[in-house]
Amino acid sequence: MEFVQFYPLGFLSPPSLKGMLGGLLYYSRLYNSEGERFMKRYDPERLELSTRDRVTRAIIQEVKEGVAH
């Protein structure tokens, strides 16, 4: 495999689900520490259902800007 792909999402709580993605991808929403649903700025049409690379870039950009998740 030349390129490794991963999902940039997972649970932190409860501990029994830590790290798992589960089937909640279609029902999940991403918020930053300010309560903003930040995917509206990166892909306003698809939001959290955007492609993995766009969601990953959005999360990285939020972290670089110092907005905790």
Per the residue annotation, which of 29, 52, 54, 57 is the catalytic one?
A: 52
**CA–CA–CA angle 18, 19, 20 (5° rounding):** 95
How deeply is 32 buried, as exposed, middle or buried, from its count of CB atoms within 10 A (0-12, 13-18, 19+)? middle
Q: Is 29 a catalytic residue?
A: no
**Catalytic residue numbers, as ranges:** 52
